[in-house]
A and B are shown apart, each in its own frame.
Chain A
Amino acid sequence: MRKILLMMTAVLCAGLAYAQDVQVSGIATSAEDGSPMPAVAVAVQGTGRGVTTDLDGVYSITVPSNGTLVFSFLGYDDAVVPVNGRTVINVALQPGSIMIDDVVITAMGISKAEKAIGYAATTIKADDIVAARTTNVANALAGKVAGVQIQSTSTDPGASSNIIIRGFNSISGSNQPLYVVDGVPLQNTVSYSGEKSTALGGISNIASEDIESMTILKGAAATALYGSRAANGVVVITTKNGKKGQGRNYQIAYSGGLQVRQVSVFPELQNEFGQGWNGTQTFIENGSWGPALDGSTQVYGPIWNNQQRIHEYSAVPTNVKDFFDLGISNNHSVSLSGVSDDTKMTYYLSYSYSKDDGIMPYDHDLYKRNTIAYRSTYQAAKWLKLSSSMNFARAKSDVVSTFQGASVIDGLYEFPRDMSIYDLRDLSVAFNTPEAYLTPYGITNPYWAIENNYNHNDSKQVFGKMQVDINPFKDLTLTYRMGFDYTDYDRKIGYPEIALDDALIQEDYGYAPSNMNQSGYVIANYGRSYETNHDFLANYSKKMDALDLGVVLGVNINERASTGMTGETDALTFESGFWDLSNGSTKTAIEEAQSKRRLVGAFADINLGWNDILFLELTARNDWSSTLPIGANHYFYPGATLSWLFSNMLENDDVLSHGKFRLAYGKTGNDAPAYRTSASYVQGFANGYYYSSIAQFPMNGTNAFIKGATLGSTDLSPEMTTELETGLNLEFFKGRLGFDITFYNRTTDDLIFSLPVDPATGYQRMYTNFGSIGNKGFEFVLNLTPVQTSDFRWDIGFNFSKNWNKVLSLPEGLDGGKSIINSFSAGDDAVYVYAEEGKPLGQFYTYLPTYTDDGKIIVGTDGQPILTKEVKDTGKSMQNDWTGGITTSLSYKGITLSSVLDIRYGGYMFSRTKNLMQFTGNGVATLYNDRKPFVIPNSVVEVADGVYVDNETPIYLANSSYQDYFNNYGACLGGEFYLIDRSFAKIRNISLSYEFPKSAIKPLALSGLSMTAFCNNPFVWTAKTNRYIDPETTSYADDGDLGAQFGELYSNPACRTFGFNINLTF
């Protein structure tokens, strides 16, 4: 930086001196191995003029004889070389030590110098993305970016991920950022079934090896130019382009690896009591409320065909864990990349294959992906450049559903503690199938369930772009870009029929296996969705003395559409395995869904730079949307940012090497979902209580329609997000120490919301604009290189962010100014989560115990707590208090050890797994008082109005009150017993890699060879009170990203992955 300052002064002086121009040429090489470096930018400092080196690293440029050349290349330090009248200048570039990214790809694929940006933008480089070795690249960001929360919906293969940038802005809409690949927005296509969300397209189909960098634009000012869809931030992905190899104009790279997946977080189970109910041994119970385990030999299960099973009545501590196996996964990718001899053309071709096998036995949870990418640029004439990108992806996934019923996870968690699951593998034995399974209470052998339930997704995606850049004259570039993304999927879900007649059952102990009978079904769901974008851009940039001017004008035309068809059939002829619609004997439901929306946007962006010290950017955009009422379908939003590089004004010193102050203000508008501007009819149906859509038209040859439950609005207006952001970025000691702090205050007003309303209005929900949500907070990033020698380097990065989320207003009339986000209710239990005015989004409400004025628990005559009749505020919220991350890497001569820690602190979530542990008596919490009778401590019973006496009624097993104490009264916590602390600290990744020295691999005709051993999610620390699940898990994915924060319902356990990877470059 000091050099830059020095040179700038020199250049400014030079400018005044009217120096004579000379032709300078030379060669740029890498200081690392002396190889020539193509595509190095060679600029004449202070002029904006520049050339790039050719394939052999050679350049030639006209420059004032007293001028200065700046050589720059991504990942290398700039070399600033005064010409001093020379005509030949050769430079050796040093690999990068400055940590700030010099170039940031911003709105509409326009790259900008980092210094000119007045808002927070974080770029993650290829190495870091590849190091994380996640099949879905979104997960590679976890823990690395301040203010960004990456939440994988589960660790199952193929699971989708949610990314939340600077908190939740929308209650009912999406809070997901926009993904833009090489200037082209991608759809985020996700399949929801069996309480699972599986990625079908979008970012999940991009091979991590194809990515050059990912930039996260967080603020409204940064995102205004992307329009409506960027209101929640933008993830900009830049892919790799054609590159020369060492000593030749192409290179071939291979990367491949092997991973092993293993269960990590698991509920803590008790090992003292066995199968039974209310303290008595029963032979068919789905839980461990029986007597203490004593090692005696006992029968269990029904008597079938004069046979009954026996076992030793003692704990099988790892019985549930034993069910899972190691998932063996592998990935390979190969790429060919190069530049034509005349350097006019670049090309990049890659193929990748990933196979992820999960922790379920056999191959029932499997994700396979093949991708092919081809990218090319061609400089057809001096004024004409063509670029294109074509990407094909195919992903297949088999999912193990987690919902209740004959599901795997329910079957595992309700399994008595005294039996071995592993011994139930043989499905040719009647005792291991529903016919004579050890319990008929709604669960069955998990091995049977996994073999007989089917959930398969098969998706194909094509995306890419075609782009023409025209330079009609110097400083002006006209661009047309057509971007497209087409995703197509086939999904089949099969649920087996169980049709037992109990013919061979002699004794069922009161509940016959035929109670498990179910009709089974097949669902076939085919769909496709596409998005096209036409961008017209005019980009003018001009350097005028101290002033840099850049103007971008553009128009974007966007269309998004989807079509889907679903067929369903019941009462299967073949009980299992034949998953075709012809298998149903009674009914075939057919449904279709279509949606199309369009958006036209016109925008302008003006950049002014003064002396490399002050940068001002002004943006404005107007959108016209098809989803808004036709007479009021357009909206305007402006933005402005200021960046002040004060270090460029200061006297040069050894301490402060970079200092920048940022200020940004921006607005982003967001339109409505499609078809929300009017009421609509749906085909008639009626709901039963547990059996939804118990009646569905056509019925008996008659068709009928009814008004839909949600009323559209003819006066919807767009949501507006306004954000003010300020930040300071300082670097010291040539980048050895740097920090960046950002404060932001974001408000989203006029939220478009499907407001739940009293059905007496005639509707359950109404689309309307109301209320506002605020997110304000700060992000802090600290980067430190405590040790740096020629051989050894140690880097540490900390990031910390705190977001205060608050519902600023909700409409009057809503009960207490709150509106429901999600809920769980079963029997007398109910947990609700609300958006409530004045509180963070996602406040938990449930039935709570009641207390006397002096704090004693009020119980009934049965000795159990009396819970409130209505749900009450628990004072607990879904929101984390703060999040942070630590990254560290140690490198010594090509050996690098690195690790990422991701921390989220505070907040609560709903956990059905926790509840299930008490319901079944399998969880450790059910060992309270060794299951001996007890009287609830400090409890009183009301004997007359307001008169309380000490409670003496005991809770004990034999009358079922002990179990009820847990199941109906939440162990004196009411519904709060369902909640768990969602805090965690998770090591996302530890990796050890070795990069072979160039000299060692030269004989092998390789230019690069590295090997990496790694472990993803090796450790998770959870709150002390959470003995159940990995709190990152959600299973309400189809309730939207905010709704999914509610918690988990029978989620599969989390896992960790060990792996080894090799990278070769020829």
Chain B
Amino acid sequence: MKKIIFASAVVMALGLASCTEYLDINQDPNAPSEKDVSTDMILPAVEMNLAVTYGDYLRITGGYYSQIYAHQFGTSNYVDYSQFKMSATRSSGSYTQLYQKVILNAQTIIEKSEAAEDWGTYLAAVTLRAFALQALVDVYGEIPYTEALDPANLTPKYDEGIDIYKGVIAELDNALSKAVGSMPVATSFLFKGEKADKWIEFANSLKFKMLMRMGDVATAQALVDEDNFISDDVKMAGCWKNEAQQESPFYGEEFSTLGGSTQINVVANLAIIGTMQQKDAGGNIVYQDPRLVKYFTTNKSKEYTGNISGTNMSTASEPFNTTDYWCRPVASFDMPVYLLTVSEIDFFLAEYYAIAGDAAKAAANYEAAIKASCATNGLKAADAATILAQYPYDNSKYKECIGIQKWIALAGVNPFEAYCEVRRLDYPAFDTTLKGSDMYAGKGALNVSAYKPGTLYTPYNVDAELGDNKLLERWPYPESSQSRNNKTPKFKGYDTPIFWGE
């Protein structure tokens, strides 16, 4: 017996001694270790998440809210957007994706590249982070910023939009001060194999866009003088495949069947169609924007038809209650996701010079913007001339000229940015004499003949709290923040503009 007790004691002692080692197995075998993950491995995922949120959800909502898109007959996935409604839950996933996947991982790259003094990669991460933060401010107005990204603080306070803009610009300035054009940058989809020079142009252009949103032309002057803006559109292109989970996101979401969805939702809005293809009283086409064919497909009868905001026409008469009556956006699996286009920078320059009182330079940049827009869409100078003949620049109405043309230029490439700029420039303006309910009675036919090109209209069915002749100026704070963070401010109301729209 003594032997047994002795043997047991030995076994127990040995057991306990090796216990620590025996139990030290809590490293997830399915995850690479933190120290082995390099910035090369993170940057493409940051870009991809930004491209997906920006090029899919924000594109769709921006399109509905700026009357570029309307809803297909019969389905109802986005009818609320076409009624200028937004709920806290609807945008929650995108807020989450931008913060958790884009901003956090960009922050990781910033920390890693700062430690390695890899300033080219540092600038790239700061720029992408700035881009995502700006997009969030542009819909919510206020978001957590100074107290964000701190797991020790579960209730980060919301900062004012203007302060976030200023903070982000300071971050860009800091990164720009460290980066030199010849520096290498981690693996990227946006600028493959490029050095930091492309990122410097992108950062400058983004900063310029933000300063113009802020109306801070004084600060913008140095950038204009330096004139080191993007010379090519910044876009995610060439990385898409015609396979599940590899398609350009807007196409994957709304056109492809690979994701399991069979719903067709997004069709052209009568406002954008009526502006890009103008008809006389007899129904003859008197003007057609050359970009129309690049933006929208024709319907079954080879015509351009735009539906009305605010309804899915479920009670309309034929042919309005058929799916093939409506035109859909041109989309393909490899369509680029545009983050920033040369045309936008030119429009901002036109605006800059208009404010500065230099009408000639303003006009020149307005023309350059339209040419750049045509170039983006694979069109020629002659096409730009057609547009300019119809919409010449008028410095006395610079906001209206720029507003309408920017809306058109962005309609096919970046409807989200169109939504932002329409809110800021207040053009296209609402036709206060024509409501959606004047064009469609809730049943029967849709009559678009009273629509005036270059205007917006109150949707047939509009969110009662927003009211008539108004854009949805801001979104309710996202549910994923509201329900978990008691520092979420009181909602300012759907018609309260973001600081740059005041």
Contacts and interface: CB of A to CB of B under 8 A. Distances in A.
A and B bind: yes
Nearest to A679: B34
A9 interface: no
A887 interface: no
**Most-contacted residue by chain A among B77, B257, B323 (CB, 10 A):** B257
B430 to A, nearest CB: 19
Interface stretch (B20-28, B168-176, B414-422): B20-28
Contact of A626 (B23, B241, B247): B23
B209 to A, nearest CB: 23
A694 B93 contact: no
B25 A697 contact: no
Contacts of B321: 510
The 6 closest A-B pairs by CB, nearest first: A684-B45, A691-B259, A510-B322, A680-B31, A704-B45, A762-B104
A960 interface: yes
A830 to B, nearest CB: 5
Contacts of A680: 28, 30-31
Interface string A967-993: 000000000000000000000000000
A717 interface: no
Contact of A695 (B25, B30, B249): B249
A521 B104 CA distance: 33
A820 B43 contact: no
Given A518-B262, A706-B42, A681 B246 contact: no
25 contacts: A595-B29, A600-B22, A626-B22, A630-B24, A674-B28, A684-B45, A686-B45, A686-B49, A686-B97, A689-B60, A691-B253, A694-B245, A695-B51, A695-B245, A697-B45, A700-B241, A704-B41, A707-B108, A756-B483, A758-B154, A760-B143, A813-B486, A819-B484, A828-B85, A869-B465
A244 B85 CA distance: 77
B17 interface: no
Given A702-B44, A761-B156, A815-B484, A587 B244 contact: yes
Contacts of A570: 243-244, 258
A633 B148 contact: no
B167 interface: no
A745 interface: no
Interface string A554-595: 010100000000000011000000000000001101001111
Nearest to A516: B262
Nearest to A279: B315
A1013 interface: no
B376 interface: no
Interface string A590-606: 00111111101000000
Contacts of A633: 23
A455 to B, nearest CB: 15
B367 interface: no
A792 interface: no
Given A592-B30, A707-B105, A762-B107, A813 B241 contact: no
A519 B258 contact: yes
A762 B154 contact: no
Interface string A681-724: 11011111111011111011011111111010000000000000
A694 B104 contact: no
A518 B260 contact: yes
A442 interface: yes
Interface of B: 1, 4, 8, 12, 15, 19-20, 22-32, 34, 37, 41-46, 48-49, 51-53, 56-57, 60, 73-74, 76-77, 79-80, 85, 87-89, 93-97, 99-101, 103-105, 107-108, 143-144, 148-151, 153-156, 187, 189, 238-247, 249, 252-253, 256-264, 314-315, 318, 321-324, 442-443, 461, 464-465, 476, 480-486, 488, 491
A535 to B, nearest CB: 13
A18 interface: no
A756 B261 contact: no
Contact of B105 (A517, A518, A706, A870): A706
A331 B93 CA distance: 49
A442 B148 contact: no
Given A519-B244, A762-B107, A694 B32 contact: no
Contact of A703 (B41, B52, B143): B41
A697 B48 contact: yes
A766 interface: yes
Nearest to B80: A828
Contact of A699 (B42, B44, B105, B442): B44
Contact of B262 (A509, A517, A597, A630): A517
A860 interface: yes
Contacts of A761: 148-151, 153-154, 156
A959 interface: yes
B93 A699 contact: no
A639 B34 CA distance: 42
Contact of B96 (A677, A764, A814, A959): A764
Contact of B246 (A678, A695, A830): A695
A688 B20 contact: no
A703 B45 CA distance: 8
Contact of B485 (A555, A693, A702, A813): A813
A860 B464 contact: yes
A625 B20 CA distance: 10
Interface in A505-547: 509-512, 515-519, 521, 536, 538
A510 B96 CA distance: 37
A760 B26 contact: no
Nearest to B242: A586
B481 A760 contact: yes
Given A405-B260, A586-B258, A827-B76, A709 B19 contact: no
Interface residues of A, number: 107
Contacts of A678: 26-28, 34
A597 B56 contact: no
B49 to A, nearest CB: 4
Given A704-B43, A758-B156, A687 B97 contact: yes
Contacts of B77: 690, 827
A113 interface: no
A861 interface: yes
A759 B100 contact: yes
B95 A759 contact: yes
A586 B80 contact: no
Contacts of A695: 48-49, 51-52, 245-246, 249, 252
**Most-contacted residue by chain A among B20, B30, B321 (CB, 10 A):** B30
A557 B14 CA distance: 14
**Most-contacted residue by chain A among B48, B57, B321 (CB, 10 A):** B48
Contacts of B156: 758, 760-761
A515 B252 contact: no
Given A405-B260, A764-B480, A472 B41 contact: no
B481 A758 contact: yes
A846 to B, nearest CB: 11
A696 B245 contact: yes
A757 interface: yes
A512 B258 contact: no
A702 B89 CA distance: 33
Given A705-B37, A757-B484, A700 B253 contact: no
A866 B476 CA distance: 17
Nearest to A963: B314
Contacts of B51: 686, 695
A759 B44 contact: no
A515 B323 contact: yes
A478 interface: yes
A934 interface: no
Given A519-B257, A681-B31, A762-B103, A705 B41 contact: yes
Contacts of B52: 686-688, 694-695
Given A538-B8, A681-B31, A688-B253, 17 more contacts: A519-B258, A587-B243, A596-B25, A675-B26, A675-B28, A679-B34, A680-B30, A690-B259, A694-B245, A703-B44, A758-B155, A759-B99, A763-B104, A819-B484, A861-B464, A958-B443, A959-B442
A389 interface: no
